[in-house]
Amino acid sequence: MQKKLIALAIAGLASTGAIAETTYSIKGQVNIGIDQYKLGQGTALTAISGTEQRLSDQQSRLVFNADHTIGGNSKAWVTVDMRTSMDTNQAGTTTYGLTAGNTGVGLMGDWGKLTVGRWELHYNEGAVNELSRVVISQALGTNGMLSQVNGSVVAKGTRSDNVIMYDSANLNGFTGRFAYSTSPRGSEGTAVAPAVAGAAPIPLGNSGGGNAMTGALRYAAGPIKAGVSFYTEDSEDRRANAPNTDQRGTRAYVGYTLPVGLSIGLTLDRSKYSAGTTTVTNPKWAERSAWLVPVKYASGPHGAYFAYGKANSATGTGTVAGADSSAKFTKIGYDYALYKDTNVGVFYTKISNAPAAKYNLFALASGQQTSTLAGQSVSQLYAGLSFSF
């Protein structure tokens, strides 16, 4: 009797449209391969050199989506992007876990899309001209070298926390984005332990002082993909003598695909961060300019990839005078489509660091590779598979 009542209740809801307009989907990717990661000698006395060999997961994921029509062409939606590790169990880290990927809730319609949650901001703008079918995070110079100032990552290099974001509707190929984060690195006001046991914790700085903002304008139509993006971040603690970890970034990119399947692009980036013994009232900036030329060729199931770029030596009061912190990025790769959702490939990626430079390949946490120290060159040879469903 109880089962019949439940069935009748569900049927009644469906007949009124209460649940008929809700849609659900589950999709995902498995990205895994064999990774040979090599570090040069470098100039730092504590640098670890040599070759690391490992099985490397490249941010495999499960993505859960749902949306519900709320009137006219407007919908409420939710996305939960769960990052999984196919080689080790790393759930709960910033790279892996239930909401480690782009995760949010909001509204969308002909007017655009509103997102509240955690999302990628700025650092991957322009990566569309570099992406391959085989997912290999470390081979992305856009997300890697161009999103660092001598090893210090700009715009977090992953999902930013506490994001409120608006993406515009597509207007003749143009789309725009504006996002604000109350604290992109998670903490929205902290406190230190009291001097006297049992006393109330002492507030640390201004709990509403830190924030980040980004804006982007993109164009994608026909053979052209182009855009500009800016990013500004102020650290959470705004006391006069507080350590300052502020960041600024500006990027522009363009890519063009020829009818023969060959595409070539150019990305320019200028970023800076407050470095050294710097405070809110005494910022010391380290600033550098960088560029990247990505090239792709597609012919049937075959795909070939090349990229070359350079980060110039950082300048400013937060740097050491005369120190060469420049770096060069090189990538070459090939992938083959076994089926529309199954690809295999091999990629070689290298960063050549000058004596004072310590740039890293992107997303080292994906394979738990060792970070570089001053002057170390770093390279990776990767052979892997990507399966989408």
Query: Which CATH number covers residue 109?
Result: 2.40.160.10
CA–chain centroid gap for 63, Å, is 17
Arithmetic mean of pLDDT over the chain = 88
Cα–Cα distance between 331 and 295 in angstroms, integer? Answer: 10
The most confident of the ranges 68-82, 84-98, 205-219 is 68-82
| Phi then psi dihedrals of residue 313, to 5 deg | -60, 135
Partner residues linked to 28 by β-bridges: 62
Read off the pLDDT of residues 332-355 as tens digits, 9 standing for 90 and up.
999 999 998 999 999 999 999 999
Instruction: Give pLDDT, residue 85.
Output: 85
**CA-based end-to-end distance of the chain:** 40
Under a CB-based contact definition with an 8 Å cutoff, are residues 93 and 100 in contact? Answer: yes
Under a CB-based contact definition with an 8 Å cutoff, are residues 122 and 271 in contact? Answer: no
Q: Which candidate, 304, 253, 248, places its Cα nearest to that of 271?
A: 248
Read off the pLDDT of residues 156-183 as tens digits, 9 standing for 90 and up.
999 999 999 999 999 999 999 999 999 8
CA–chain centroid gap for 359, Å, is 16
The DSSP letter of residue 171 is B
The DSSP letter of residue 164 is E
Would 356 be classed as within a structural domain?
Answer: yes
Would 302 be classed as within a structural domain?
Answer: yes
Please give the share of the chain, as a percent, with pLDDT higher than 70.
84
36 confidence band (pLDDT: 50, 70, 90): very high
Read off the pLDDT of residues 204-225 as tens digits, 9 standing for 90 and up.
555 557 899 999 999 999 999 9
Tally of domains in the chain: 1
Cα–Cα distance between 12 and 3 in angstroms, integer? Answer: 14
pTM of structure: 0.88
Instruction: Give pLDDT, residue 5.
Output: 41
Instruction: Give pLDDT, residue 10.
Output: 39
Cα–Cα distance between 294 and 140 in angstroms, integer? Answer: 10
Would 238 be classed as within a structural domain?
Answer: yes
16 confidence band (pLDDT: 50, 70, 90): very low
Task: Decide: helix, strand or coil at residue 366.
Answer: helix
Under a CB-based contact definition with an 8 Å cutoff, are residues 281 and 320 in contact? Answer: no
CB atoms near residue 304 (< 10 Å) = 17
Would 6 be classed as within a structural domain?
Answer: no
Which contiguous run of DSSP H or E holds residue 12?
A: helix 2-15
Would 13 be classed as within a structural domain?
Answer: no
Query: Does position 198 have pLDDT exceeding 80, yes or no?
Result: no
Read off the pLDDT of residues 228-271 as tens digits, 9 standing for 90 and up.
999 999 987 776 666 778 999 999 999 999 999 999 999 999 99
CB neighbour list of residue 218: distance below 8 Å, 6 or more residues apart:
125, 174, 175, 176, 177, 225, 226, 227
* Structural domain that includes position 143: 23-193+200-388
Write down the residue that tokens 């090893």 correspond to.
151
Would 247 be classed as within a structural domain?
Answer: yes
Under a CB-based contact definition with an 8 Å cutoff, are residues 59 and 135 in contact? Answer: yes
Partner residues linked to 31 by β-bridges: 386
Under a CB-based contact definition with an 8 Å cutoff, are residues 386 and 134 in contact? Answer: yes
Would 56 be classed as within a structural domain?
Answer: yes
* Token reading at 260: 């023969």
Would 344 be classed as within a structural domain?
Answer: yes
